[in-house]
Amino acid sequence: MNQADDLLQLNRSWSSHVGRLRTIAISSGKGGVGKTNVVLNLGVALARKKVRVGILDADFGLGNIDIMLGIDPERDINDLLEERALLEEILVKRSGLSIIPATSGIQSLTHLSPRQESVLFRELRKLEKMVDLLIIDTGAGISDNVISLLLSADEVFLVVSPEPTSIVDAYAVVKVVGEIDPGKPFSVVANFVSGEAEAAEIFLKLSRATQKFLGKSLDYLGAVQRDPSVTEAVRSQCPVLEYQPQCPASHDFLKLARTLQNRIYQRMGKNAEAAGRT
Ligand SMILES: Nc1ncnc2c1ncn2[C@@H]1O[C@H](COP(=O)(O)OP(=O)(O)OP(=O)(O)O)[C@@H](O)[C@H]1O
Ligand SMILES: [Mg+2]
């Protein structure tokens, strides 16, 4: 089997093992464009709307969900893989979220032993009953580990900033994932923008390129303005939605959550309609 087959195989086993749980992976290609902030604040906003949100910090080695929340988990996903702890023992509850802390003990989910893989799937399966939505925070770049996580998710949100390097790197993510799974849905979150006009410009640049050269269309989810409160919140180790609920970025995160929730309801409606027809 070649590398793409390996990744596709892993994707299939994830999908079948994680069952009906809806998963969204957050990626960007380029580092430092705001992925972890989007994961946390979107999670907090959805949790306030009574969506049960799980967060998997899959930025192995450099995971920083715990740092951004000012928590110091005693156990992490490595304890789960080494069978020292069960899922419920490593989950950290904070701000209405159920967080699976990252580890620095493993490099990748693509190189697990068969035993570790079965432990991981057995434990992740429990999430189905605990949460409605799992958001996966991935590291920067397009390593095998990141790509396998994106393939494992139902959909991918690309966080993109106005910098040309961010747009080019996001394009690379769509290209690499699309070569293995052409049907994977992608949505764009424009971050660090001055307003709607700049967000639209970023989205159009990226989506026109993916459409033209890859035949792949992208959805637009929304935008988050550049806002100094985000940096202050990170320094205070608190999601900006809690640190400064009225700042522009907090409003943007609430709007993103509304858009996502509406989409989920629409999809549920369509599924119910389809089920009614059969
Ligand atoms: N909308 C924003 N306005 C102002 N600053 C922001 C905004 N979004 C993110 N930042 C700043 O950018 C920094 C990087 O954000 P974050 O850690 O979420 O990015 P990342 O994509 O997860 O990075 P990495 O690739 O290292 O995981 C934050 O510490 C924060 O200071
Ligand atoms: Mg991050």
Task: Read off the pLDDT band of 143 (50, 70, 90).
Answer: confident
Task: Read off the pLDDT band of 1 (50, 70, 90).
Answer: very low
Answer whether 112 contacts ligand 1 (Cβ < 6 A). Answer: no
Residue 16 is predicted with a pLDDT of 54
Q: Which atom of ligand 1 is nearest to the CA of 31?
A: 25
* Lateral strand order in the sheet of 22-27: 92-94, 97-100, 53-58, 133-138, 22-27, 155-160, 186-193, 219-225
Question: How far is it, in rounded angstroms, from Cα 196 to Cα 168?
Answer: 21
Pair type for strands 97-100 and 53-58 = parallel
CB atoms within 10 A of CB 89: 12
List CB contacts of 149: < 8 A, sequence separation 6 or more: 25, 58, 109, 136, 138
**Separation of CA 155 and ligand 2 centre (Å):** 18
Long-range Cβ contacts of 231-237 (<8 Å, 24+ apart): 234/37, 234/68, 236/70, 237/67, 237/68, 237/69, 237/70
pLDDT digits (tens, 9 = 90+) for 96-115: 999 998 866 666 666 778 88
Answer whether 66 contacts ligand 1 (Cβ < 6 A). Answer: no
Nearest to 58 by CA among 24, 15, 109: 109
Single pTM value for the model? 0.91
Rg (CA), the chain: 18
Pair type for strands 22-27 and 133-138 = parallel
Question: How far is it, in rounded angstroms, from Cα 160 to Cα 194?
Answer: 13
Answer whether 236 contacts ligand 1 (Cβ < 6 A). Answer: no
Decide if pLDDT at 185 tops 90.
Answer: yes
**Separation of CA 138 and ligand 2 centre (Å):** 7
Q: What secondary structure letter does DSSP report for 83?
A: T
Give CA 259 to chain center in angstroms.
Answer: 16
Task: With beta carbons less than 8 A apart as the criterion, state whether 87 and 123 touch.
Answer: yes
